[in-house]
Amino acid sequence: MSTATNVDATAVNTIDWLSASDTTIVVPVYQRQYRWDIGGCEQLLGDIRAVAGTEDGQTHFIGSILSTASTSAADDAHLVLIDGQQRVTTLMLLIAALHHTLRDDDPTLAAELEAVLVRHDEPGRTKLRPHRAWADVFESVVLDRRSPADADRASRFDDNYAFFRSQIRPDEAAGIWRGLRKLEHVSITLGGQANAQQIFESLNSTGEPLRDHELIHNYVLMGLSHTEQSEIENEFWLPIEANTGEQIGAFWRDYLVMLTGREVLVEGERGVYDAFRHEFPRLDLDTLRGRAREWRELAEIYRLLLDPTSATDAGVARHFGAINTLGRGMYPIAMRLYRDHLHGELAASDLFVALTHVESLLLRRTVVGLPIDRLVARFCRAADEGMDALVHAIARITPSDERTRVGLRYGELPHAGFVLARLAGVDAAADVDLDHVLPVAPSDDWTGDGTRRWADFSDDEQNAHRALAATLGNLTLLEPDAFERVFDASFPEKRAAYAASGLESTRRVADAETWSTAQIAARTEELTARFMDTWRRPAVVGIDDDNLTPILDAKKRRGWPRGWQREFDYVEYRGEHWDVRDVRYLFNRVFARLWADSRQSVVDYSARRGGPVYRAMAWNGQWDQLGEGQYLYMGWDSKYMLSAVQGVLEEAGWASEVFVKYSYIGDAMR
């Protein structure tokens, strides 16, 4: 058997590998900049804490680290890091934070940590050397050499180090070090003849990455015996797959929104899997069985949402069919309501009333041109407080009758076939076609009265007619054979077909002797009254016509995206109007206000989360003093700041009273 001569791969203990006296590493110039955000740091620290509490033989694998021997004296290191920069750099920042936390209290452990961080032959130099643009910044953080002039410096090194410092308590330092000592990786070292770029691409670009639901599947089964895995797989997972099919990924997302009352981000991250792990950091076998029964039951409900015709209850089929048409984003609340009904916690009448309110919300907002995404999480939160709270939450953002009438009078009717079928009292799946009484593109010979041709209309008259062609009053339903005969015909010919229709609402169109803007407007008024009666707005006060977003549904960004300084138009804080345009100012203002109005909430939140308020400015960076001996650290990234705002407002019990109004820049930001 031949052996590889240019690639050496060995499983090693990560800390031993870093601590070796001859380990010095340089990051080449072509590598991307350090990009890990606080979310990644939080996950890493959570993994280390988890493995720290396991039996001695258990370890945590962090992947592979690819390097090659240095061939240039200019590198000033014996290894050139090709893949693994983000993980190694973050580990170094964590170890530096651990070192600075206990160096005065535990010199022995501090010496072990220092061996990981600094060169054996040059204690004033770090073992890891990022590429030259950031090397001095990194060393100033790791060696704690930041000067007061660096307080306003913005870098991921500073941010992530500050996060680790905020999270590590002196009494848990030994436990974190125990977890770090259990990290392992595969060290891949390339020989002089190896093609480093080709190997890097092979490690990072080939193969299909695991999808969220596949990661969840692996996560729940990992660590079980073969017999236990087979039990969970056969009794629970396979039925979940059978019920959700290709939509299994969407099922897990919708389930987590229903469970947490928070939107689950999926763009650019393993958002669904990460949210799942956050909710279920530990799943022993008994807990897993209980949860899996719940998941299986919800997957059965999800099958009804995906295919409403399979529901045995006609009312359920009708409402689930409507949600499929109007907005599948409401699956989480529909799933929650139907589950409560199955458990005897919600009467059928209340279920149908709630689902009708959801339909009204979706349809009315679409009519007036308001977005219908990112709404459902707030309804799931409200449902936890009871039906009255849910109805109030829906009503608050359901457009008024007046605004909806304007949208119906002048706008294109959305979901026209569905709306007209419901108003006509026929099934939405009935074999009928949608007909424009006045065609969208009339021929020159088209006439509405049998006398005056379309070509004889003035430009203004034609424009006035065209503007109403897709509105409610100019639309009707017609049987397919009749539709084929008259779909672009003049009104006198259509009138005869309408009169012979089996649909009463269509026969009423034939009562008009002519068809013009006046008849369209009159029919719009008639059908609008029926629309309002069918899709009513719940009778509660307080309409949000400015499309405000609850603070708990605000969008978390990675880093500081372009335009972040003008993300908001304003913020509504418990009835007050705040001229706040960005999350950084919002973070500062909310914590300052709560320090005055609900100080214990800030203290409790910071104690549980390890920040962002501290008794001393324990490291260099951006700080704001809240009170005597109490300091708010301001050096976080935007994602952490928004999460902290949401968390502390929940701690105070006021999150439901705070809203943001996104600017057009904020709406366009990614």
Tens-place pLDDT, residues 59-80: 888 888 888 877 665 555 578 8
Q: How far is CA 235 from the centre of its chain?
A: 30
Confidence of residue 1 (pLDDT cuts 50, 70, 90): very low
Average pLDDT over residues 526-540: 92
pTM of the complete model: 0.75
Q: Judge whether 661 and 549 are in contact, CB under 8 Å.
A: yes
pLDDT at 608 over 60: yes
Average pLDDT over residues 102-109: 86
The residue ranking higher by pLDDT, 209 or 395, is 395
Residue 592 phi/psi, 5° resolution? -65, -40
Q: How do 568-573 and 658-662 pair as beta strands? A: antiparallel
pLDDT at 207 over 80: no
Q: Which amino acid is at 64?
A: S
Average pLDDT over residues 492-515: 93
Confidence of residue 447 (pLDDT cuts 50, 70, 90): very high
Q: What is the pLDDT of residue 551?
A: 92
pLDDT at 418 over 90: yes
Confidence of residue 336 (pLDDT cuts 50, 70, 90): very high
Beta-carbon neighbour count of residue 126 at 10 Å?
Answer: 23
Q: What is the pLDDT of residue 121?
A: 79
- Going across the sheet that includes 576-578, the strands are 549-550, 658-662, 568-573, 576-578
Q: Judge whether 522 and 509 are in contact, CB under 8 Å.
A: no
* Whole-angstrom distance, CA of residue 220 vs CA of residue 218: 6
Q: What is the pLDDT of residue 542?
A: 62
Confidence of residue 5 (pLDDT cuts 50, 70, 90): low
* Whole-angstrom distance, CA of residue 45 vs CA of residue 369: 44
Report in angstroms the alpha-carbon separations of 426 from 174, 318, 472, 477, 653.
70, 11, 17, 10, 46
Q: What is the pLDDT of residue 616?
A: 86
Task: Please spell the DSSP secondary structure of 475-539, one letter per residue.
Answer: EEEE-HHHHHHHTT--HHHHHHHHHT-S-HHHHHHTT-SS-SHHHHHHHHHHHHHHHHHHSPPPS
Q: What is the pLDDT of residue 133?
A: 63
Read off the tokens for 613.
């308020």
pLDDT digits over 637-668, tens only? 888 999 999 999 999 999 988 989 999 898 88
Q: What is the pLDDT of residue 267?
A: 54
154-163 core/surface letters (b: 16 or more CB in 10 A; e: else): ebbbbbbbbb
Confidence of residue 55 (pLDDT cuts 50, 70, 90): confident
The residue ranking higher by pLDDT, 39 or 11, is 11
Average pLDDT over residues 217-222: 85
Read off the tokens for 527.
């059908």
pLDDT at 263 over 80: yes
pLDDT at 206 over 50: no
Average pLDDT over residues 217-237: 86
Q: What is the pLDDT of residue 504?
A: 93
pLDDT at 119 over 60: yes
The residue ranking higher by pLDDT, 326 or 396, is 326
pLDDT at 36 over 60: yes
Average pLDDT over residues 505-520: 94
pLDDT digits over 298-314, tens only? 999 999 999 999 999 99
Q: Which residue has the tokens 């032959």?
A: 121
Read off the tokens for 627.
């009170």
Q: How far is CA 495 from the centre of its chain?
A: 51
pLDDT digits over 364-389, tens only? 999 999 889 889 999 999 999 999 99
Task: Calculate what percentage of the chain has a pLDDT beyond 90.
Answer: 52
Q: What is the mean pLDDT of the chain?
A: 87
